[in-house]
Amino acid sequence: MPDHKPSKSKIEESPIAEVFEGRHPSAAEKDWAENVLAPALEKSPERPIGAPTGTNLDEDGHARFTTISGVPVRRLYTSADLPEDWSYEKYLGYPGQPPFTRGIHATGYRGKMFTMRQFSGFASPEETNQRYKYLLKSGGSGLSVAFDLPTLMGYDSDHPASEGEVGKCGVAIDSLEDVEILFGGIDLEKTTVSMTINSPASVLWAMYLVVAENQGADWQKISGTIQNDILKEYIAQKEYIYPPAASMRLVIDTFEFGSKFTPRFNTISISGYHIREAGSTALQELAFTLYDGVEYVEWAQRRGLDVDEFGPRLSFFFNAHNDFFEEIAKYRAARKVWYRVMKERFRAKNERSTLLRFHTQTAGVSLPAQQPLNNIARVAIQAMGAVLGGTQSLHTDAYDEALALPTEDAARIALRTQQIIAYESGVTQTTDPLGGSYFLENLTLKLEEGAADYFEKLDAMGGMVKAIERGYPQKEIAEASYQYQRAVEAKEKIIVGVNDFSVDEDPHHILYIDDTVERHQTAKLKALRGRRSNDEVQRRLDALKAAAAKDPGGVNSGDISGSNTMPYLIEAVRAYATVGEICAALREVYGTYTEVSVT
């Protein structure tokens, strides 16, 4: 008897099978696959990539084509890769209109160019002030403060834990005096300032508000952003001080204070940047960041705040990595998902609450130390992705990022890269110019779906704080990061100048920061403590501790809670209490956090 087992059809066995798998190609596409693609593949097969030790291999041991996040990529996208009920109106909509796929402004960048905001800070406030003036003179349109590690961790420059770290990763700030120096000669009513500060965010913001007030600036008019995103610290960046609940309370204090007194200031920048830098995929960056947003809204609502009061002040911060289309899809998906979260989950009525406004920074993690000038090209591609994704503001990394803080030359080239994109490339003339690309729309939809899956998991865990305490996002990121590193080592992912195309090279000139900053700051602190009224400082710190220990409770719309810490912080910084003293006072009340270590 002959074997009647049905034989596989010719197409299933052939290299063009993927054209038919899980999609419904048109007659014309089928015809193309059979008569053009199949012969082409027979004549010259596609190039194999990677090594047999790789992470994502087909049956022949060759790496599959994937995005940098490991998402499989097809060789060609057509209308067969869009949902069957696809229509422009249903899935995309118009710029400035829900669900904001194509951007939040009806006129794209014609109305308002993205803000060129270079993250900068090093050594002493005096030296950083000079760099700020240089950046503003060179055409930068906003400032972004990088603080050193002791400031980020709430220690003064003379604390033992600060040894060797003062002024190294950013500017050292100890007291109001340093913030006065930092912004000396810079008009804070006219310049928007972003501050990358998290655990001690409200302390530094209080200092900023006092300096602005002393300059004669109106709090109702000043604008800028404090990062203030503590959740991503527990997830990725790890600059936390207090336990999650206490930290969340301090964050909600700033929401409450800001919505009443500083209506144009963003009191948070919910950040995916650091999640991505810790090695996450694009999808994890998207999903964890937006879910952090959900957590903040829920905590604020529990305080009694109206979502439409603080919703418009929530801003976001994403990474711009190497995979051009995946990144653009990520920004587009983010706008759609956030719109739905605010509209459907939180019933926001004010359309401004549903707009996802975001800052972007190119991916520091993608910049190797080898052949650093190549990083100029990487940064340009990444920045172009962010602009095509509709970012509101942008930081481009300097090419020497993996070597040290940028030299003045490297910082200038980074800014010039943005200016070339804005004024020479032509991409800013048309809104969402890649909208409608089959590939891009397919990626955008996949990211939305992937985010929905993560949202479901995080909801089931009881929210982000609970998930963090279980180590869930940390574990997901560590796994992705390791898989990526293996893909690099197997040459599935090529990094030019690192795992291919390498050369011997001479050392590059870098910005070198020595330990004179530590001595300078320590001397200033000593003088300050001798000059100020230490009794007054102690009284202010005691009042702060008393407020911090009280449950802020619910408030009526428009009021702020009697134990909101912001007014007490402002009084403490006016008395020249230092960052370290204030954070030590809050440590006494809240204790400190130690993480679950995941490798």
Partner 1 sequence: MLVFVEEFGHQDCVSFVPENAFLRVPSCPLWLNRSWMPEEKIRVLVAKPGLDGHDRGAKVIARALRDAGMEVIYTGLRQTPEMIVNAALQEDVHVIGLSILSGAHNAIVPRVLDLLKKNKMDDVLVVLGGIIPNQDIENLKHSGVAAIFLPGTAMDEIVQFIRANVKPRGVPTSS
Contact positions vs partner 1 (CB under 8 A): 149-150, 152-153, 155, 161-165, 168-169, 233, 237-239, 277-279, 365, 367-370, 402-404, 471, 475, 478-479, 481-482, 485, 488-489, 495, 497-499, 507-508, 510, 512-513, 515, 594-599
CB of 166 to partner 1, least distance (A): 9
Residue number with CB closer to partner 1 (202 or 237): 237
CB of 429 to partner 1, least distance (A): 37
Kindly give the residue spans of alpha helices, DSSP state H, lying in 171-243: 176-182, 201-215, 230-232
CB of 53 to partner 1, least distance (A): 8
CB of 3 to partner 1, least distance (A): 32
Residue number with CB closer to partner 1 (113 or 488): 488
Strands lying side by side in the sheet with 224-226: 265-266, 224-226, 193-196, 142-146, 115-120, 393-395, 358-362, 314-320, 268-271
The closest alpha carbon to 88, from 77, 99, 75, belongs to 99
CB of 267 within 8 A of CB of 313? Answer: yes
CB of 267 to partner 1, least distance (A): 23
- DSSP bridge partners of 447: none
The closest alpha carbon to 226, from 187, 194, 262, belongs to 194
- What is the C-alpha separation between 155 and 180, in angstroms, rounded? 19
Residue number with CB closer to partner 1 (152 or 386): 152
CB of 61 to partner 1, least distance (A): 12
CB of 548 to partner 1, least distance (A): 23
Residue number with CB closer to partner 1 (163 or 189): 163
CB of 581 within 8 A of CB of 573? Answer: no
Residue number with CB closer to partner 1 (145 or 388): 145
CA quadruple 464, 465, 469, 473: dihedral positive or negative? positive
CB of 380 to partner 1, least distance (A): 19
- DSSP bridge partners of 57: 63
Contacts of 527-530 spanning 24+ positions with Cβ under 8 A: 528/174, 528/175, 528/177, 528/576, 528/578
CB of 495 to partner 1, least distance (A): 7
| Phi (first) and psi of residue 347, to 5 degrees | 55, 40
CB of 104 within 8 A of CB of 335? Answer: yes
Residue number with CB closer to partner 1 (97 or 499): 499
Residue number with CB closer to partner 1 (85 or 506): 506
Residue number with CB closer to partner 1 (484 or 568): 484
| Phi (first) and psi of residue 319, to 5 degrees | -90, 155
- What is the C-alpha separation between 127 and 173, in angstroms, rounded? 12
Residue number with CB closer to partner 1 (45 or 164): 164
CB of 240 to partner 1, least distance (A): 8
Residue number with CB closer to partner 1 (345 or 491): 491
Residue number with CB closer to partner 1 (508 or 539): 508
Residue number with CB closer to partner 1 (242 or 255): 242
Per-residue CA distances from 592 to 13, 76, 153, 438, 489 (Å): 60, 52, 11, 49, 38
* DSSP assignments along 263-310, one per residue: TTEESEEEE-HHHHHTT--HHHHHHHHHHHHHHHHHHHHHHT--HHHH
- CA angle centred on 478, ends 392 and 472, rounded to 5°: 85
CB of 518 to partner 1, least distance (A): 9
CA atoms within 13 A on the CB side of 254: 29
The closest alpha carbon to 299, from 343, 352, 255, 233, belongs to 255
CB of 593 to partner 1, least distance (A): 9
Residue number with CB closer to partner 1 (485 or 533): 485
- What is the C-alpha separation between 422 and 220, in angstroms, rounded? 30
- What is the C-alpha separation between 314 and 255, in angstroms, rounded? 9
CB of 514 to partner 1, least distance (A): 9
* Other Cβ atoms within 10 Å of 551 Cβ, number: 8
The closest alpha carbon to 15, from 45, 35, 50, 59, belongs to 45
Kindly give the residue spans of alpha helices, DSSP state H, lying in 138-187: 149-152, 176-182
CB of 163 to partner 1, least distance (A): 5
CB of 274 to partner 1, least distance (A): 9
- DSSP bridge partners of 314: 268
Residue number with CB closer to partner 1 (82 or 511): 511
**SS3 category, 5:** coil
CA quadruple 242, 269, 234, 255: dihedral positive or negative? positive
The closest alpha carbon to 586, from 206, 177, 212, belongs to 206
Residue number with CB closer to partner 1 (274 or 332): 274
CA atoms within 13 A on the CB side of 380: 14
